[in-house]
Amino acid sequence: MNIKLVLSLLLFVRSFSVSSQVLSVALSQYPNKQALIIAVHGIRKDTLGTILLDENGKGSLAFKSKQLQAGLVNLSIKDKAYLSFDFVLSPIESPTLICDMEFVYAQNTKILNSPENDCLNRWFDKVVQCKQKIGIIQELNKLYQPEDLFLEKLVNEKQILDNQLQKILDTINQSSLFAGKYMQFKMALEDKLANVLESSEQQAVAKKYFTQIDFDALYGSSMWYALINTCIEAYGKEGSYYETFGSDVVSNLKRIKNEQVYEDLIEAAISVTEQFAWNRDQETIVDFIIKDNRIKNPQGKLLKVIKSYNLSQGKKAPDLLITQRMGTKNKTIVLKTNQLNEKYSLLLFYQSDCGYCETTIEALKNNYKTIIDNAIKIISIAGDTDQETFIKSSSEFPWSAKYCDLEGMYGVNFNNYSVIGTPTMYLLDSKGIIIEKIATVDQLLAWIKNKSL
């Protein structure tokens, strides 16, 4: 055999083995354009690549390494904001997407060599058709009396449709395709979780569903945010499952295989606990993260959360480093938290342009007499970077201990107290021991009331 031919074959085999997944695109209406392929990951969108279309609108994207798992991706054309098309990309498929129209959507687009997209489109259409027919029959039922003969036919027809729908659902639930997972997530949002706020029974359904979610699959579905936030409704303070969110998150983390999904669920869960002041749930999650030791080098928000774990109830609060302007120089003094000269101290970390902070500060001002009558000293530390803004916003505070080092959220005190968001409040005793991390002024007032009982 000719040696050049042998070398050519070897190069072909090598290139094929390195890049065995290829996405081909044929968009005849977009010659010489750039097609962007963006994957949906949790609440992020990651660009997988750019396809340079030729004069016929054809091009391909060869992946250097296979995607870790199937998921939803988005096709768009640069400078064509109106074009946005979602489809499934699987690591075991090399599909070809074809559309000869200007607007790309499911009804005028073919995706060849893709069982994932074939099944997703077929299942979606069948489910929609069955549900539409069932909905029409249910509306017709309202127009007939029980003795009407036609009502019996409607009942029989609905039973047939219910059976057809169940067969489709059984097929979807038994499928190993991502398309099956996607349809399950979509139907959970539309049916199973639609009425989570209506009753304790529906909340029980949502809680159970949350503990069974395949988060690895959910990560690429574009429904990450919607499903998590819908299930959260089951854990409200007035419900039966209050303070079980943390343990349920932990059970989910134990099942997750993908490292990025693991970290992103932690971040999502921590954001939830911060938003609703579910401090015990956050401690449960952080305690697991530390013991699990799966994240070797935590960064950013997660690092702050882990550090804040050391500031939980019963721990010594860090001393405060206060920077003050003395002439042309800055002078830093130390306020030792065990020498604040009051029975209790409330540390308030805030920002002047923060809406939640304004609400909290207004509540502190309105209840200031009650607070000081209970021997609580307020010390506010601003995360501002402008001296004039700080002075203007703090001038109406009735308390005198108000500080700002103009370092914003990166100031030493914000760092030492691992402040993730504002407002953040800590209640200390006379020895500088943290009594409680306070989320709202109402929580502070409830603590005062319970203390006096």
Q: Cα dist. 193→170, 180, 210, 230, 269 in Å?
A: 19, 18, 10, 7, 19
Per DSSP, the three-state class of 308 is helix
Q: How far is CA 293 from the centre of its chain?
A: 22
pLDDT, one tens digit for every residue, the chain (453 residues): 455 444 444 443 344 444 478 999 999 999 999 999 999 899 888 999 999 999 999 999 998 766 668 999 999 998 888 899 999 999 999 999 999 999 998 899 999 999 999 999 999 999 999 999 999 999 998 888 888 888 888 989 999 999 999 999 999 999 999 999 999 999 999 999 988 888 999 999 999 999 999 999 999 999 999 999 999 999 988 889 999 999 999 999 999 999 999 999 998 999 898 888 788 898 899 999 989 999 888 887 778 778 777 787 888 999 999 887 665 677 888 999 999 888 999 999 999 988 889 999 999 999 999 999 999 999 999 999 998 999 999 999 999 999 998 899 889 999 889 888 889 999 999 999 999 888 889 999 999 998 875
Angle between helical axes of 279-292 and 245-255 (0-180°, round to 10): 30
Q: How many residues does the chain have?
A: 453
* Peptide bond just before 91 cis, omega within 30 deg: no
Q: Which CATH superfamily is domain 320-452 in?
A: Glutaredoxin (3.40.30.10)
Task: Provide the pairing of β-strand 71-77 with 80-89.
Answer: antiparallel
- Rounded to 5 degrees, φ, ψ at 340 are -90, 5
314 by DSSP, 3-state: which?
coil
Whole-prediction pTM? 0.74
Amino acid at 121: N
Which CATH number does the domain 17-113 belong to among 3.30.1310.10, 1.10.1040.10, 2.40.50.140, 2.60.40.180? Answer: 2.60.40.180
Q: Of 249, 300, 253, 293, nearest to 272 (Cα)? A: 249
What does the buried/exposed string (b/e) look like for 212-234 if buried means 16 or more CB atoms within 10 Å of the residue's CB? ebebbbbbbbbbbebbbebbbeb
- Ordered by start, the domain boundaries in the chain are 17-113, 117-175, 180-311, 320-452
**Phi, psi of 254, rounded to the nearest 5 degrees:** -65, -25
